Amino acid sequence: MDIDPKRFALLRAGERIWAIAAIRGDAERLKILHRRLAELFRPGDRVIYLGDVLGTGPAIREAVDELLRFRRWVLATPPFTHTADVVVLRGSQEEMWRTLLQIQFAAQPGEVLDWMAGRGVERTVEAYGGRFSDAVIAARNGPTALSQWTAPLRRAVRASPGHGEFAAMLLRAAITTDKNILLVNTGLDPSRVLAKQGDRFWWDPAGLERMTERHPEAALVVRGSDPRRRGFLHHGTWLNLDGGSGTGGPLNAICISPVGEILEHLAT
């Protein structure tokens, strides 16, 4: 399989996979989900967070803290859990946050900010002590003003234990080594191989819905973020989990067998 392990999670085949939908800063729903998952967890299970941990919800930093706490619990579960068995995917919210933290280097920062406005990243800025509107003003005054705007946000990330490491652990997608199950944030281009998808994993929701037959590199595609928040839907070759966590809807998670069967469905 021609997959870069620095960008993709390669999941050893033959074990169960827990896939957790977009959280979007709803720490309370995540805590409840984790309690239920802990009761059902078996040694050897993989846990995959399908991106959009950040954004829109009421407790974004707390959601990251809770994810990191549960990750530590899983990794400490005997007999042995490899760090690669707990995976966090990059979603559109994490990508916008990454871009904002270096917005001073953008060629057209004002246009980037205009595009981001209303897409949920404002709440992440607020969670780390900033105001999105101040970035819009700073963009009119040049790179130095934008650097002064991003500096306290970066300090807030560094001051939050594990949050810098959280940003560093984000991967593009996860796939089992037997090509049975592919897990993504929001979509893909069905005409492209995985290595050529680029940012389509978090910016091409319609691409997945164009897929009428199995992708050549995966029998089942599981996505965690849906712009329409339609909840648990199974379309044969792909499966949707996003019920709208962080926007008033439930947080969904499923347990998938090695052959793609749905063994458990949790909703909080």
What would the pLDDT profile of 104-129 be if each residue is shown by its tens digit?
Answer: 999 999 999 999 999 999 999 999 99
What would the pLDDT profile of 139-187 be if each residue is shown by its tens digit?
Answer: 999 999 999 999 999 999 999 999 999 999 999 999 999 999 999 999 9
What pLDDT does residue 1 have?
A: 58
Rounded CA separation 204/244 (Å): 18
Question: Does the pLDDT at position 241 exceed 80?
Answer: yes
Q: Is 78 exposed, middle or buried (0-12, 13-18, 19+ CB in 10 A)?
A: exposed
Please state the rounded mean pLDDT for residues 1-17: 86
Query: Terminus-to-terminus CA distance in the chain, angstroms?
Result: 36
What would the pLDDT profile of 55-64 be if each residue is shown by its tens digit?
Answer: 999 999 999 9
Do the beta carbons of residue 19 and residue 48 sit within 8 Å?
Answer: yes
Q: Is 157 exposed, middle or buried (0-12, 13-18, 19+ CB in 10 A)?
A: middle
Phi/psi of residue 264, nearest 5 degrees: -145, 150
| Per-residue DSSP letter, 86 | E
User: pTM for this structure?
Assistant: 0.96
Task: Enumerate domains of the chain plus CATH numbers.
Answer: 8-94+162-267 (3.60.21.10), 96-159 (no CATH)
Rama region for 115: left / alpha / beta (φ>0; ψ in -120 to 50; rest): alpha
Please state the rounded mean pLDDT for residues 188-215: 92
Instruction: Please state, in angstroms and as integers, the Cα–Cα distance from residue 157 to each residue in 25, 74, 264, following that order.
Output: 15, 24, 35
